A and B are shown apart, each in its own frame.
Chain A
């Protein structure tokens, strides 16, 4: 397995170009949360020519709807949700500068094509490890769509947030490669 690569957000084109499927990365800096309902609104806003609630250039979107923070904590449990539900929206956000996505589960071919075209990587965090992952989140504030509750857009400050590159900008896919190694007919 690869050594951990440390990266700060926002990601540059160069950061993204050095990453390969299977690389393990510790992300620090700001990431933005969005899932189904927020993606729908962000894309509708872009299509109607509106101004986004945050600048997408170089940003990483984390597909997560955390549990509410108990007293004394900045956030509750906060692991990734399944990514393919965001597939219809992802290419539009890539075109606006999004350079990374964090989720779990495989993406559609058209999303992988858009990743190559626009220079965006897809990371997975460990699904179902929300309590463990919450330890790497140092601050959280709602920046848009508060009415969506758990689906609101939050700005998170993360420190050494552990992810693994599933799809790089060269067309490799860790899920496909991993299965090939272990499948028995």
Chain B
């Protein structure tokens, strides 16, 4: 027996998801900021983090977006094999984005063509990644991704000889180059392995893991800690004014890869790290 879900239900849920994720900072990020405020050594750094916490309170109370860049609407969908969608999944998501961004007074930041650059006026189309998984649930993860931090991201096709050290150096190098641009303290998504495109998708997907939760594989958990320490030794600090807390977390995802290859992708995310999921 298939579980039936109407496209109109998906559109309505996505509408609400867009508004809530953009106005209500999730508790994992808020807690990470509160912890960072205690740990930050620089006075101006502490003051900035305190303003970010204030900003989150105002946004929540007044349902104002945390940041004016309400992002490109990125979705990761996990669709159970036992789910039957009555209608078009992608169109339903786009309809939800259209409604959410219009009715929620969110900014429309998408141009229809990268070269001709005319605003589509409703923040569509969304970027949607779909995985088919066992079960009868439809999980929708939403990540409104800001442009300033996205622009600081990068990928490198390392060779196996570069090893763990090569990966660490590349990630730290990208964060160093980004400096004050991506609104530190940042969150760093890292994809290691797969292919050119797989590594980039993994780096973004890694951002979905709640802050404060380490990789279940002990060696990767320790690699996350090691990279975070290296990043925080850069001294960039909150907003790049100098300080201890340059990143709140490093999240890694890995995938098997070719014998010749060691792809590594870094997706940089600002402190206004908006992510939310729903299960239908």
User: Which chain A residues have a beta carbon within 8 Å of chain B's beta carbons?
Assistant: 1, 37, 64-70, 73, 76-79, 81-82, 84, 104-106, 124, 126-132, 134-135, 148-151, 164, 174-175, 177-185
B209 within 8 A of A: no
B107 and A150 contact, CB distance less than 8 A:
yes
Total interface residues on B, using CB and 8 Å? 51
- Cβ contact of B181, chosen from A65, A84, A132, A135, cutoff 8 A: A84
Distance from B59 Cβ to chain A, minimum over Cβ atoms (Å)? 4
Distance from B23 Cβ to chain A, minimum over Cβ atoms (Å)? 8
Q: Cβ of B51: which chain A residues have Cβ within 8 Å of it?
A: 126, 129, 132
The count of A-to-B residue pairs whose CB atoms sit within 8 angstroms is: 165
- Cβ contact of A175, chosen from B66, B151, B180, cutoff 8 A: B180
Q: How far is the CA of A177 from the CA of B5 in the complex (A)?
A: 56
Q: How far is the CA of A79 from the CA of B241 in the complex (A)?
A: 17
- Cβ contact of B180, chosen from A70, A104, A182, cutoff 8 A: A104
Can you list, as one digit per residue, whether each of B148-166 has a CB less than 8 Å from chain A (1) or not (0)?
1001000000000000000
Can you list, as one digit per residue, whether each of B49-79 has a CB less than 8 Å from chain A (1) or not (0)?
0011011001100111111111000000000
Query: Known contacts A76-B105, A131-B64, A164-B241: does B43 contact A1 (CB below 8 Å)?
Result: yes
Distance from A155 Cβ to chain B, minimum over Cβ atoms (Å)? 17
Distance from B72 Cβ to chain A, minimum over Cβ atoms (Å)? 13
Q: Cβ of A128: which chain B residues have Cβ within 8 Å of it?
A: 52, 55, 66-67, 183, 270-272
A174 and B235 contact, CB distance less than 8 A:
no
B121 within 8 A of A: yes
B80 within 8 A of A: no
- Cβ contact of A131, chosen from B42, B47, B66, cutoff 8 A: B66
Q: Cβ of A181: which chain B residues have Cβ within 8 Å of it?
A: 42, 235, 242
Across the A-B interface, the 7 shortest Cβ-Cβ residue pairs: A178-B242, A183-B235, A182-B235, A105-B181, A127-B183, A82-B148, A131-B59
Q: How far is the CA of A149 from the CA of B119 in the complex (A)?
A: 8
Distance from B268 Cβ to chain A, minimum over Cβ atoms (Å)? 12
- Mind listing 5 A-B residue pairs with CB under 8 Å? A69-B105, A70-B64, A77-B68, A127-B183, A184-B235
Query: Known contacts A70-B63, A105-B181: does B233 contact A132 (CB below 8 Å)?
Result: no
Can you list, as one digit per residue, whether each of B115-130 has a CB less than 8 Å from chain A (1) or not (0)?
0010101000000000
What 17 additional pairs, Cβ within 8 angstroms, besides A106-B240, A179-B235, A182-B235?
A68-B106, A69-B105, A77-B107, A82-B151, A105-B179, A128-B270, A129-B54, A130-B69, A131-B55, A131-B64, A132-B51, A132-B55, A151-B119, A164-B241, A175-B179, A178-B242, A182-B42
- Cβ contact of B55, chosen from A106, A129, A179, cutoff 8 A: A129
Can you list, as one digit per residue, whether each of B88-120 has a CB less than 8 Å from chain A (1) or not (0)?
000000000000000001111100000001010
Can you list, as one digit per residue, whether each of B223-267 has a CB less than 8 Å from chain A (1) or not (0)?
000000000011111011111100000000000000000000000
Query: Known contacts A66-B107, A106-B180, A128-B55: does B240 contact A77 (CB below 8 Å)?
Result: no
Distance from B99 Cβ to chain A, minimum over Cβ atoms (Å)? 14
Distance from A38 Cβ to chain B, minimum over Cβ atoms (Å)? 12
Q: Please, which residue of chain B has its CB at the minimum distance from the CB of A127?
A: B183
B44 within 8 A of A: yes
Q: How far is the CA of A178 from the CA of B44 in the complex (A)?
A: 10
B233 and A183 contact, CB distance less than 8 A:
yes
Residue picked from B62, B68, B121, B148, most chain A C-beta under 10 Å: B68
Q: Cβ of A68: which chain B residues have Cβ within 8 Å of it?
A: 105-107
B41 within 8 A of A: yes
Q: Please, which residue of chain B has its CB at the minimum distance from the CB of A129?
A: B55
Q: How far is the CA of A61 from the CA of B117 in the complex (A)?
A: 22
